[in-house]
């Protein structure tokens, strides 16, 4: 059985029909991880023994008594607390930390019977767009091992692209699900802020973070979102969704209005990406959708606002990592202040330190209103731009990333160039909107994603629209150890 073309929904069907046992299925993915992850390096740790033990328990259960997704494997971004597992957020400062509880999203996976395979690499504390900022190692793009998979959920996207798991969970603060999904040629879904509980998600920027699926197809994304979504009283920002998610069946886009965001079509958008995007717009029209240009004037200020708001919240959230309560503690200190300083200096990487310093500065006395206050006002303008746009159209469509995957090391010395990777995704987080990225084609043999954004709590509509477009585009290519086969 070739797991490269196996979806989570198909895994479920195979288990239900007894064509494969849970142990056989899990073993297929463990074998795949052993075969390719030495090159891709998507995982930080694989719990092969635990996964096989759980699979054996599934096989010993009467099929009539099994839960909906019993036996289907999944891998998790290393920012979600899993009871008893080391959870590091890709940072040396949390090395050895084992949470005493599951994140709500993880608990929901367990309740559905999903089997946890292991922890996936990420940019440290989700700060980055390439997964080069991990405190452990860089993950590589399965389409070209000399290129990045995107970030910060690069491990999650690369894992699905390399068929090391049928689906994964990532988190999205400024595009960290959708951008790596685009660069790795998979589906990435960022739900409405609050649709999925953040309890047990180690916080980067609390007003922006959201958990979501990375999958090989839109149907799997819908299924995984249906599992993890819902109100959680332990998360004061949790709202859940107005109705349960159903699997998509849409075949056309008749009557749907789409806005092409003009601000994303500038010089930053590579010609190859623009060409693939134009083909996706043509596919929308062929399916009966109506496309028109829409302007969001304030989104051009989105990156500037984000890189004030997000570091400010990170500065506050990361203050807890001081060597006293959990994680790394320096062995070279003579007093408490030196212990704090050395612990954080040794434990945090360069990008995390950079954002903590920026965040502390913009929140400091005398600068709060000049920077943080202005950024929040800009955020309000962006929200209003989206509201005006959705008064005219049902959905917005744009490239997910203005470029294809870039070379490893190409932007590490230029943070501003790295930040521009999230040009098309950041405004969606600032407005708390849902967005989905799906593969739309290839530029120079590398995947290109198209992003569809909807109003708050329009998840079902986004799923149906993305599914219809996915069927029309019919992207079948899969990477094989970095070899492109478009």
Q: At 228, is the secondary structure helix, strand, or coil?
A: helix
Is 353 annotated as catalytic?
A: no
Q: At 281, is the secondary structure helix, strand, or coil?
A: helix
Coarse DSSP helix, strand, coil percentages of the chain, rounded to the nearest 5 percent = 45, 15, 40
CA–CA separation, 166 and 479 (whole Å): 14
CA–CA separation, 292 and 259 (whole Å): 5
Q: Which residues of 356-375 are buried (b: 16+ CB within 10 A; e: fewer)?
A: bebbbebbeeeeeeebbebb
Q: Which two tokens stand for residue 39?
A: 């090159």
Is 176 annotated as catalytic?
A: yes
Give the other-Cβ count within 10 Å of 3's Cβ.
17
CA–CA separation, 369 and 465 (whole Å): 41
Given 129, 134, 153, 176, the catalytic residue? 176
123 contact partners, CB below 8 Å, separation of at least 6? 90, 129, 130, 131, 132, 133, 134, 151, 152, 154, 176, 351
Q: Residue written as tokens 């609390």?
A: 206
CA–CA separation, 74 and 106 (whole Å): 10
Q: Which two tokens stand for residue 149?
A: 């998979």
Which residue, 46, 111, 75, is CA-closest to 216? 75
Cα(first)–Cα(last) distance of the chain, in Å? 21
- Burial level of 96, CB count in 10 A (0-12/13-18/19+)? exposed
Task: Check: CB of residue 171 under 8 Å from CB of residue 212.
Answer: yes
CA–CA separation, 295 and 237 (whole Å): 30
Q: At 448, is the secondary structure helix, strand, or coil?
A: strand
CA–CA separation, 181 and 299 (whole Å): 21
Is 190 annotated as catalytic?
A: no
Given 91, 130, 152, 153, the catalytic residue? 152
Task: Check: CB of residue 185 under 8 Å from CB of residue 143.
Answer: yes
CA–CA separation, 472 and 474 (whole Å): 5
- Burial level of 245, CB count in 10 A (0-12/13-18/19+)? buried
CA–CA separation, 95 and 84 (whole Å): 13
Q: At 24, is the secondary structure helix, strand, or coil?
A: helix
**Which residues are known to be catalytic?**
77, 152, 176
């Amino acid at each position: 059985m070739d797991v490269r073309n196996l979806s989570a929904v198909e895994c479920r069907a195979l288990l239900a029909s007894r064509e494969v046992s849970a142990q056989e299925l899990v073993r297929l993915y463990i074998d795949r991880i052993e075969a390719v992850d030495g090159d891709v390096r998507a995982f930080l740790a694989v719990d092969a023994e635990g996964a096989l033990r759980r699979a054996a328990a599934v096989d010993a259960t009467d099929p009539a008594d099994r839960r909906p997704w019993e036996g289907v494997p999944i891998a998790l971004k290393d920012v979600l607390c899993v009871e008893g597992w080391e959870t590091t957020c890709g940072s040396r400062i949390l090395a050895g930390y084992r949470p005493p509880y599951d994140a709500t999203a993880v608990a929901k996976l367990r309740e559905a019977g999903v089997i946890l395979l292991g922890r996936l690499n990420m940019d440290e504390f989700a700060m980055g767009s390439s997964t080069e900022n991990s405190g452990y190692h860089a993950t590589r793009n399965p389409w070209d091992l000399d290129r990045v998979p995107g970030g910060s959920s690069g491990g999650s996207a690369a894992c699905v692209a390399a068929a090391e798991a049928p689906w994964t969970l990532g988190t999205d603060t400024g595009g960290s699900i959708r951008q790596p999904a685009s660069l790795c040629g998979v589906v990435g879904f960022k739900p409405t802020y609050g649709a999925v509980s953040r309890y047990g998600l180690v916080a980067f920027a609390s007003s922006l973070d959201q958990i979501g699926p990375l999958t090989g197809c839109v149907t799997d994304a819908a299924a995984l979102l249906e599992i993890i979504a819902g109100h959680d009283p332990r998360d004061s920002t949790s709202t859940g969704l107005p109705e349960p998610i159903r699997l998509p069946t849409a075949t056309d886009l008749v009557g749907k209005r789409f806005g092409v965001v003009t601000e994303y079509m500038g010089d930053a958008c590579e010609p190859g990406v623009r060409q693939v995007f134009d083909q996706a717009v043509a596919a929308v029209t062929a399916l009966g959708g109506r496309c028109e240009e829409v302007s969001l004037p304030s989104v051009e200020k989105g990156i500037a606002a984000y890189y004030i708001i997000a570091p400010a919240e990170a500065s506050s959230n990361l203050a807890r990592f001081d060597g006293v309560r959990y994680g790394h503690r320096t062995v070279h200190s003579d007093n408490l202040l030196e212990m704090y300083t050395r612990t954080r200096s040794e434990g945090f990487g360069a990008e995390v330190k950079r954002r903590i310093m920026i965040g502390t500065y913009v929140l400091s006395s005398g600068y709060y209103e000049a920077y943080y206050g202005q950024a929040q006002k800009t955020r309000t303008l962006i929200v209003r731009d989206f509201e005006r746009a959705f008064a005219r159209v049902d959905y917005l469509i744009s490239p997910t990333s203005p470029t294809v995957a870039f070379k490893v090391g190409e932007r590490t010395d230029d943070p501003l160039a790295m930040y521009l990777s999230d040009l098309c995704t950041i405004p969606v987080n600032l407005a708390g909107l849902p967005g989905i990225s799906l593969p739309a084609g290839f530029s120079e043999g590398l995947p290109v994603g198209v992003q569809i954004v909807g109003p708050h709590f329009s998840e079902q509509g986004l799923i149906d629209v993305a599914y219809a477009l996915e069927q029309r585009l019919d992207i079948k290519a899969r990477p094989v150890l970095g070899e492109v086969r478009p």
